[in-house]
Structure 1
C-alpha cells in the first residue's frame, strides 16, 4: 500500500542470536557498513547487548547484537546469556545465525527458547564460502527446514558481505509500519567511550593466550576531546596477579602493542588523532562477583 504515492515507512527491532562464534557480530557490522561490534576468532567475544541502527528511505532496522547463548556456571557468562535471551522479548523479528554444515546441542537449546516466542525467525546459514563443493550445502538446508518453521532461510558469507540484500528484503517484510525509532544519522546506542573500551578488549583477544582475555575487562577512566586530539585513559582489569604480568609483557612490550593497535582502530572510528594510555589493575575474582559485574556494566 502507498500513501501519497510514497511507500509507508517501516521500523522495528531485530534480535541476532546464535551460539558463540557463528558470526553474529560480523553480520551486524556488514549490515551497517560500520564496525560497531568487536570480532575475533574466539567464542564469547561479545559480552554486551549492542544496538546497530540501519536506516534507509523505506525503513529503519534496529539490530540487537547479543552474546552467544551457551551453558556455563560462571556469573559473567550467565549475565551474558541473560542479555541474549532477554533480547528475544519485544522484537519484531529474530535472526538465528548458524554455521554452514554445523549443528550442535547449542542450536537445539536455542530452538527450544525460540518456540516460546511468537516472532518470525529467519535462519541465516553463515560461512557458506567455506563449503566446497557448494552443493554439499543442500542436504543441510533441507534438514534445517525440517527443524523449525522458519520464515526464511538465507545462506550467506557475512565476512565477505555475500547475499545481504535477500536478508534485508526478508527482514523489511517483518517490520511494522511506523516512524523511525532513532535519528536517521545514529548507528548505535553505545557511546564512543564504550566503543573505545571494546576496541582495546578486541586487541586483548587478538594478542593474548587462550584463557587470559576472558579474565580481562576494559574501563575507560578518561575520555577528553581537544582541538588537536582525543585523550583516552583506560584500565585493563584482570582477575589474578599472574595475569597482570602477561598483559604487560616483558618490558611492557605487550601492552604497548595492544595500545598501539587499539589506538589505530579508535582513530579510524573517530576519524581523529588519539592519545591512548593503558593501565592494568588487579580485581580478584571480578567475573564471579555480582557487584563487580554490575559496576563494570553487565546487565542483570
Structure 2
C-alpha cells in the first residue's frame, strides 16, 4: 500500500518504555503488540537488546522500542545497556516511564525521572503505573499520586498487561503524540528483529527459569545456524550455544545428568515452533566464556 491509501490524519512513530529493571516493560510491550516479541522474566535486566514491537491500527502505526532497564552498571555490559537506553530516548516521539503498582517509588525511579527531565522539553513523557492487577484500587490511586510528584508528566495512566486493563487507553495516549505520516512497516509485521535474534532470546528466556539469582546476567545465547533440513519443508534445524562465565555456572545450566538443559530445550522449542510456524529440531550446547560481561572482545562476539 502507498501512503496515499491511508486515511487523512494517519499517524506513525516510535515510543519507548523505560524504568528500572523488572518494572513490567517487556510484558506491556507484548500486550500492546498482541504477540510475544520481547522476552519476559521475573529476573531483573532480562532485556538486553532494543526490540521493536509494531502495533497496527486503522488510524495509526505505533512502533514500541522495548529497552533494557536503566540501572547502576557494574560491568562493561551494564554500561553499554545504559548507553543503549539513553540513545533510544533521544530518537523516539514519546516515552513512558513505568513504575510497578506493588513497589514503592524509590531512588532508582527518581534517578530515571531526573534523566528524563533532560529530554522532556522536546519529547513528551507519560507516567505509567504497571501491574495494577497485583494490588487493590486504593493502592493504585496512591501510586499514581506518588508518581505525579516525581516529575511533570504529560499524562498519568494505570495499566495491567496481564488482564488488559487500560492497555488500549495507553496505546491511544501514545498514538496521540505521534507525528502525522504513513506506516513505517508493512501491515501485519509485528517486529523488525531478525528471527535468529528472537530465537536466541527465547532460548535465553527458557534458561532463566529457575536459576539462581546471580546467573541471569551471566547467560548469553548465540544461534550458530538456523536452516530448513535438507529435503524437508516441515522441519527447521536450530543450533544454539549458551555462554556462561564460569564452569560452576555451566554445571547449574546443565543440571544433574543434563536434565535441566533438556527442560530448557523442550520449553524453548515449543516457543520457537510457535514463532516460526513449523516443527523445530533444537540443538543446545553450553560453553564457558570467562568473564565475558567485562571483556570488550567477547561482548562484540556475543552481539553487544
1:230 equivalent in structure 2 = 236
Q: Distance in 2 between the 1:165 and 1:66 partners?
A: 21
> Is 1:136 aligned to residue 139 of structure 2?
yes
1:52 equivalent in structure 2 = 53
2:263 equivalent in structure 1 = 257
Q: CA deviation at 1:144?
A: 2.2
Q: Distance in 2 between the 1:64 and 1:159 partners?
A: 20
Q: CA deviation at 1:228?
A: 2.0
> Is 1:272 aligned to residue 272 of structure 2?
no
2:98 equivalent in structure 1 = 97
1:152 equivalent in structure 2 = 155
Q: Is the partner of 2:149 in helix, strand or coil?
A: helix
Query: Conserved in 2, the CA contact under 8 Å of 1:20 and 1:44?
Result: yes
Q: Distance in 1 between the 2:210 and 2:147 partners?
A: 36
Query: Conserved in 1, the CA contact under 8 Å of 2:22 and 2:44?
Result: yes
Q: 2:115 aligns with which of 113, 134, 138?
A: 113
Give RMSD over aligned pairs: 1.6
**What is the total number of aligned residue pairs between the two structures?**
295
Q: Distance in 1 between the 2:109 and 2:73 partners?
A: 15
**Distance change (3 Å), C-alpha of 1:75 and 1:4:** closer
Q: Distance in 1 between the 2:50 and 2:6 partners?
A: 38
Q: CA deviation at 1:270?
A: 1.4
Query: Conserved in 2, the CA contact under 8 Å of 1:267 and 1:273?
Result: yes
Q: Is the partner of 2:64 in helix, strand or coil?
A: strand
Query: Conserved in 1, the CA contact under 8 Å of 2:11 and 2:181?
Result: yes
Q: Distance in 2 between the 1:191 and 1:161 partners?
A: 28
**Distance change (3 Å), C-alpha of 1:251 and 1:143:** closer
2:293 equivalent in structure 1 = 287
Deviates more, 1:238-247 or 1:22-31: 238-247
Q: Is the partner of 1:41 in helix, strand or coil?
A: coil
**Distance change (3 Å), C-alpha of 1:139 and 1:261:** closer
Q: Is the partner of 1:69 in helix, strand or coil?
A: coil
Unaligned runs of 5+ in 2: none
Q: TM-score, normalised by structure 1?
A: 0.94
Deviates more, 1:176-185 or 1:60-69: 176-185
Deviates more, 1:229-238 or 1:122-131: 122-131
Cα deviation per residue 1:128-174 (whole Å; 9 max; x = unaligned)?
Answer: 12222x12332332232232221111101112221111111111110
Q: CA deviation at 1:4?
A: 11
Which residues of 2 match residues 12-23 of structure 1 at below 5 A? 12-23=13-24
Unaligned runs of 5+ in 1: none
Q: CA deviation at 1:212?
A: 2.0
Deviates more, 1:272-281 or 1:245-254: 245-254
Cα deviation per residue 1:104-128 (whole Å; 9 max; x = unaligned)?
Answer: 1111111111111121111110111
Query: Conserved in 2, the CA contact under 8 Å of 1:18 and 1:68?
Result: yes
